[in-house]
Amino acid sequence: MNIELAQVSRWYGNVVAVNDVTMTIGPGVTGLLGPNGAGKSTLLHMMAGFLAPSGGTVTLDGTTIWRNHDVYRSIGLVPEREAVYGFLTGRQFVLSSARLHRLPDPEGAAGKALALVEMEGAADRRIETYSKGMRQRVKVAAALVHDPAVLLLDEPFNGMDPRQRMHLMDLVRSMGAEGRTVLFSSHILEEVERVAQHIEVLVAGRHAASGDFREIRRRMTDRPHLFRVRSSDDRRLASALIADASAGSVSLTEAGLEVHAVDFRRFTRLLPRLARDADVRIWQVSPADEDLESVFSYLINRSS
Amino acid sequence: MNGVIAEISYRALLGRRRVWLLVLLPAVLLALAVLLRVVDAGGERAAVMLLQTFAVGTMLPLLGLIAGTGVIAPEIDDGTVVHLLAKPISRPVIAQTKFLVAASVVAVFAAVPTFAAAYLLIGLESGVASGFALGALIGGVAYAAVFMLLGTVTRHAVTIGIAYAVIWEGVVGNFVPGARRFSIQQWAQTVADQVSSSAFLTTEITLGFAAAALLLVTAGAVVWAGQRLRSFSLTGDE
């Protein structure tokens, strides 16, 4: 099944959270990537029928999602908040989901879903005794219990320990491989890279990039980088660097050199060689703009 | 009516500490009735006073508030309501189910103790016990509907509900004659007056008006709450 967003915008008063986004989420795993506050949750809530678009349309195979409870036959939603009843056991929680879906064999379906997330062991304990990762898994089980064609997960890997994270990543990947439409949001590039075949990047409410993760990864790596370098002789290193085309500009500051590298790969190979030839000892090389914000803002500027 | 939703709502409402809030007020009512009986200050006049001011005037709106907001507001607050809403179930059905849970809780915790308190004081004399029990039942159901709606409209349902119960129902309803026509408490007393033949209970609203108003307010609140749930939005932390 396909989720289609056509010129979707959402604003709160004067604040625009999502701005004119058009995208189609098809079968397989799609990662919705963007820094915090980019509008990922807003977009995901609109896909899940928990927010009306201010403009544009959000549809599931042509039917409107907003105010249409029938879509939940095909959609499983894992919300970001710890939305679980603490007084129920994990099994009761997943079973309630199965019964609300009016499945023919709710007990069987609940058991299967709990096994899928490896929660059979703790299934008969109250949810209030669970760790954050366990709550997350039980939420995933409740969302999967009716075998939905579409699965939406809002920051699903938050709060999980590495082993649980690996397991959920495997699960998400296999759901995608089975031909389900799986979308998850994340602000961590590595998570998206490991699970998603397809990436949609959202920055400041705008659709910044879309495509295969390798392609986007390459674009992110090939952007100009800013490095801060400290060495035994900054001045001599600077003059050696400036002679090469891969360093766009070099400036000498109190804290060391600031090098604007135009060609990332070439620069990373060049720096140690130059230092050795000039007999300069390098003490520190640190990226000055490695945060996601600057990576994303580069993508935004490129695409506009 | 959905059995799974009703079961979860009952457990959330009656489970653990919240049930004590529901038990407290009826316990005070029964204790007052016992006290009046022991000091021999009973009699029909005292019974009617107690039921009017405490049972219907204080306990009923507060229990309606606890039950009505309790079936929906905490779930909206902590996000668990999404578990129910992200299902192929019509949202008005969810609202109706929650209303039935709240109404049944008010019936048990308000109407039954009201009857018991009256019976303790004066037995079945002048139909006071059955009259006030019926009034508390119908009024309580209306309160449950109104406060459930409030729980779907605002996150400050309890604060606004208490302000409404104290200011409108308590002060304005008792001292401003015109406002009495628009007070659930007064409608409930009208119903009680209809059944009871006691000379100590007088009301000025006609039964026709009270019955129509109760029906309209209850049904309207449940329908509106269903519509509110249809448009339920997650705004997120962003």
- Tell me the ipTM for this assembly: 0.91
Write down the pLDDT at residue A6.
96
Integer angstrom CA distances of residue B8 from B89, B103, B143, B146: 15, 15, 21, 21
pLDDT at residue A297 tops 70: no
Which contiguous run of DSSP H or E holds residue A11?
Answer: strand A3-12
Task: Give the bridge partners for B26, in sequence order.
Answer: none
Write down the pLDDT at residue A119.
93
The residue written with tokens 């990039």 in the block is: A209
For chain A, which residues lie within 8 Å of any Cβ of chain B, measuring from their own Cβ?
12, 17, 36-42, 45, 48-52, 67, 69-73, 75, 77, 79-85, 87-88, 93, 96-97, 99-102, 142-143
What class has domain A3-220?
alpha beta
CB contact under 8 Å between A77 and B5, yes or no, is no
**Chain A residue with minimum CA distance to B16:** A87
The residue written with tokens 């038990």 in the block is: B23
Report yes or no on B114 lying in a domain.
Answer: yes
pLDDT at residue A302 tops 80: no
CB contact under 8 Å between B238 and A37, yes or no, is yes
Question: Which residues in chain B touch residue A77, judged by CB atoms under 8 angstroms apart?
Answer: 82, 86
Report yes or no on B148 lying in a domain.
Answer: yes
CB contact under 8 Å between B4 and A100, yes or no, is yes
B97 touches chain A (CB under 8 A): no
CB contact under 8 Å between A69 and B235, yes or no, is no
* Res. B178 pLDDT band, cuts 50 70 90: confident
pLDDT digits (tens, 9 = 90+) for B183-237: 999 999 999 999 998 888 888 889 999 999 999 999 999 999 999 999 999 875 4
pLDDT at residue B92 tops 70: yes
Task: For an interface test with A, give the residue of B75, B76, B237, B238 to mutate (most A CBs within 10 A).
Answer: B238
A-proximal residues of B, 179-208, CB under 8 Å: none
CB contact under 8 Å between A51 and B230, yes or no, is no
**Spatial CB neighbours of B207, under 8 Å, sequence gap ≥ 6:** B190, B191, B194
The residue written with tokens 């690996």 in the block is: A166
d(CA B78, CA B75): 5
Report yes or no on B235 lying in a domain.
Answer: no
**Residue A180 backbone zone (phi > 0: left; psi -120 to 50: alpha; other: beta):** beta
Which contiguous run of DSSP H or E holds residue A300?
Answer: helix A292-303
Read off the tokens for A194.
């490991």
Cα angle: B169, vertex B171, B173; to 5 degrees = 50
Q: Based on the structure, what is the number of domains in chain B?
A: 1
The residue written with tokens 């660097």 in the block is: A241
Q: Which fold has domain A224-289?
A: Alpha-Beta Plaits (3.30.70)
Strand ranges across the sheet with A247-253: A247-253, A256-261, A225-231, A282-287
Rg (CA), chain B: 18
CB contact under 8 Å between B89 and A142, yes or no, is no
Question: Which residues in chain A touch residue B71, judged by CB atoms under 8 angstroms apart?
Answer: none
Read off the tokens for A233.
């002789």
Task: For an interface test with B, give the residue of A32, A60, A72, A85 to mutate (most B CBs within 10 A).
Answer: A85
Report yes or no on B238 lying in a domain.
Answer: no
B35 in helix, strand or coil? helix
d(CA A152, CA A136): 13
- Using CB atoms, which residue from B8, B231, B237 is nearest to A96? B8
Question: Between β-strands A198-203 and A256-261, what pairing exists: parallel, antiparallel or unpaired?
Answer: unpaired
- B43-80 residues labelled b (16+ CB within 10 A) or e (exposed): ebebbbebbbebbbbbbbbbbbbbbbbbbbbbbbeeeb
Read off the tokens for A39.
């509008």
What is the percent of chain A with per-residue pLDDT over 90, rounded to a whole number?
A: 55
pLDDT at residue B116 tops 90: yes
Question: Which residues in chain B touch residue A143, judged by CB atoms under 8 angstroms apart?
Answer: 86
**Chain A residue with minimum CA distance to B236:** A41
Integer angstrom CA distances of residue B233 from A47, A73, A262, B156, B229: 12, 19, 45, 17, 9
Report yes or no on B236 lying in a domain.
Answer: no
For chain A, which residues make up each domain, given as ranges? Answer: 3-220, 224-289
- Output B49 or A264, whichever has higher pLDDT: B49
Domain enclosing residue B107, as ranges: 3-230
Question: Which residues in chain A touch residue B84, judged by CB atoms under 8 angstroms apart?
Answer: 100
- Output A3 or A256, whichever has higher pLDDT: A3
CB contact under 8 Å between B238 and A40, yes or no, is yes
Write down the pLDDT at residue A259.
86
d(CA A145, CA A198): 25
**Chain A residue with minimum CA distance to B90:** A69
Write down the pLDDT at residue A17.
93
Distance from CA of B89 to the nearest CA of A (A): 6
Q: How far is Cα of residue B109 from the mean position of the Cα atoms in its chain? A: 10
Neighbouring C-beta atoms of residue A98, cutoff 10 Å = 24
CB contact under 8 Å between B80 and A75, yes or no, is no
A-proximal residues of B, 15-34, CB under 8 Å: 15-16
B86 touches chain A (CB under 8 A): yes
B87 touches chain A (CB under 8 A): yes
pLDDT at residue B99 tops 80: yes
* Res. A211 pLDDT band, cuts 50 70 90: confident
CB contact under 8 Å between A75 and B86, yes or no, is yes
Mean pLDDT calculated for residue range A37-49: 93
CB contact under 8 Å between B86 and A49, yes or no, is yes
